[in-house]
C-alpha cells in the first residue's frame, strides 16, 4: 500500500491564483481530512469527509473548498490564493472517526508559498 499520497510536494502561487492540492489514499478509509500547519503551530483542521459525497467544515475552512467524489480522493481547492494561505498542508485518512483507537495516517504534505 502507498498509504496517503499528496501532490504537489511544493508550489509557489501568486496572489489571486487558484490551485488544487491532490490527496489519494489506498487503504479504503472512510474518513479523510485536510489540515494546515503553520510554523510553531499545531495542525488546524480545514475540512473533513466521512465518506464519498459527504464533506464538512473544520476549524479554518475560509478560502478553501473540497469535494469527495470517490472513497480514494479528497482534493482541496484554493480559489483565490492569499499570503495568509502560505502553509504546509497535510491530508490524512482514518478508518473510524469516533470509536476506539483509530489513528489518522498522514500524507507527506504540500508546502505552499503565496507571494
Partner 1 sequence: GQNIDQPTEMTATEGAIVQINCTYQTSGFNGLFWYQQHAGEAPTFLSYNVLDGLEEKGRFSSFLSRSKGYSYLLLKELQMKDSASYLCAVRAQEYGNKLVFGAGTILRVKS
Task: Enter the DSSP assignment of 88.
Answer: E
Q: Give me the least distance between CB of 41 and partner 1, in Å please.
A: 6
Nearer to partner 1, 17 or 105 (CB): 105
* CB 25, CB 4: distance < 8 Å: yes
Closest separation in Å from C-beta 80 to partner 1: 26
Write out the residues near partner 1 by the rule CB under 8 A: 33, 35, 40-45, 48, 58-59, 90, 97-98, 101, 103-109
Tell me whether residue 33 or residue 64 sits nearer to partner 1 (CB atom).
Answer: 33
Nearer Cβ to partner 1 (85/89): 89
How far is 57 from 34, CA to CA, in rounded Å?
10
Amino acid at each position: 500500500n502507498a498509504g496517503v499520497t499528496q501532490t504537489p510536494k511544493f508550489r509557489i502561487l501568486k496572489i489571486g491564483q487558484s490551485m488544487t492540492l491532490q490527496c489519494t489514499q489506498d487503504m479504503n478509509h472512510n474518513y479523510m481530512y485536510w489540515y494546515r500547519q503553520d510554523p510553531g503551530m499545531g495542525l488546524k483542521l480545514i475540512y473533513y469527509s466521512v465518506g464519498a459525497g459527504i464533506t464538512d467544515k473544520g476549524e479554518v475552512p475560509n478560502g478553501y473548498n473540497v469535494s469527495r467524489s470517490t472513497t480514494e480522493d479528497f482534493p482541496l481547492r484554493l480559489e483565490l490564493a492569499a499570503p495568509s494561505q502560505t502553509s504546509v498542508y497535510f491530508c490524512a485518512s482514518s478508518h473510524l472517526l469516533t470509536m476506539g483507537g483509530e489513528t489518522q495516517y498522514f500524507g507527506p504534505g504540500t508546502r505552499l508559498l503565496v507571494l
